Amino acid sequence: MQTTLDLTDIEGVVRPHLRLLSVDDTLSPEQSLGEMGLDSMASIDLMLDLEEKFGIVIQDDLITENSFSNLEEIRKLLEASSA
């Protein structure tokens, strides 16, 4: 069963991985996470944290080059992984 995940919950997991985003900065659903400091190595750590937080396994075949580009893409990935 597919569920809609709350972007606030996702943002809570993502924020610690964004080294260029200060605590007071806002993060919109479509804002580039790469511009906020998320690189390929941080994406791997982020993926592991997301799997742990949401109790899912993200399948390799669901990951695309855009999967970690912004909060909305991460939500789509998580929803596909929990389907």
Establish if 1 belongs to a structural domain: no
Q: What is the CATH number of the domain that holds 39?
A: 1.10.1200.10
Q: Which domain holds residue 66?
A: 7-81
* Cα distances (Å, whole numbers) of residue 16 to 1, 5, 45: 29, 19, 10
pTM for this predicted structure? 0.92
Residue 68 tokens, joined: 């970690």
Task: Say how many domains are in the chain.
Answer: 1
CA pair distance 13, 11, nearest whole angstrom: 5
Establish if 2 belongs to a structural domain: no
Output the CA torsion 74→1→5→48 (10° steps): -50
Q: What was the pLDDT predicted at 2?
A: 47
Establish if 50 belongs to a structural domain: yes
Q: What was the pLDDT predicted at 38?
A: 98
Chain-centre distance of CA 17, in angstroms? 10
Averages of pLDDT over each 10 residues, the chain, 83 residues:
78 97 95 97 97 96 97 97 90
Establish if 59 belongs to a structural domain: yes
